[in-house]
Amino acid sequence: MTSATPPSRTTPTPPTRVLFTGFEPFGGEAANPSWRAVRAAVAAPLDGLALHAAELPCVYGDSLTALRTAIDEAGPDIVVCVGQAGGRPDLTVERVALNVDDARIPDNAGAEPIDAPIVPGGPAAYFATLPIKACVAAVRAAGLPASVSNTAGTFVCNHVFYGLAHLIATELPHVRGGFVHIPYAPEQVTDRAQPSLPVDAVATALREIAVTTARTRTDLRVAEGATH
């Protein structure tokens, strides 16, 4: 008498863990569309992905402490930090983070560093480890405006971007990450002639970026540079 063959068992593939971060309001604004869009992006599930969100203070130093805490709690494979870039007409995926804080306006704690390194002795710059051109292409395919940006500024957004990149380079080589800037939300520009993008549209774009990053290991080789 032969024994029955036990049924085969397959180990389910764990989901790719994605952490989005947005910022609290700054510069006198009542809300920050980056945090609103991040919350909307994680509100519905995505196949194969586990989505997490964290709000960061718009404060030099404290923002990196909050980012590290969020990473420790979420254990992400992908980190996409998001910030407002009022005046830009489209969603911009950042290419490079610079090792400098140079504040044109004070942060939310009143700090205005000038020509200060984010990590003393650290590299002058880091490239994002997201597939930035594939992400831009995916957002455009979703019917939304997007481009590659070659400057994340020198305010708290760049501070967080560089801090994330340094953390990945020195401690978390399995993590891929980068930064996305978004325009004003429409309600922020009712009294000024500035471009805007609805928060729900930004959330859609962020979800496209998460899916694209999870599926893409080699970025597109297409022209997305700038002459100035």
**Residue in 157, 159, 166, 208 annotated catalytic:** 157
* Residue listed under structure tokens 């604004």: 29
Classify burial at 189, counting beta carbons within 10 Å of its beta carbon; exposed 0-12, middle 13-18, buried 19 or more.
middle
Residue closest to 134 by CA, chosen among 202, 206, 218, 207: 218
Residue among 94, 107, 104 nearest 149 (CA): 94
Interior/surface letters 37-70, b for 16+ CB within 10 angstroms, e for the rest: bbebbbeeebeebbbbbbbbbbbbbbbbebbeeb
Catalytic residue among 52, 166, 181, 208: 181
Angle, helices 62-74 vs 156-170, to 10°: value is 50
What are the tokens at 13? 């593939």
Q: Is 228 in the active site?
A: no
**205: exposed, middle or buried (Cβ count in 10 Å: 0-12, 13-18, 19+):** buried
DSSP state of 217: S
Please pick, among 81, 94, 159, 166, the residue that the annotation labels catalytic.
Answer: 94
Residues 3 and 120: their CA atoms lie apart, in Å, by 67
Hey, CA dihedral for 118, 128, 150, 181, is it positive or negative? negative
Query: Could you give the CA distance from residue 71 to residue 94 in angstroms, rounded to a whole number?
Result: 20
Indicate which residues carry an active-site annotation: 94, 157, 181
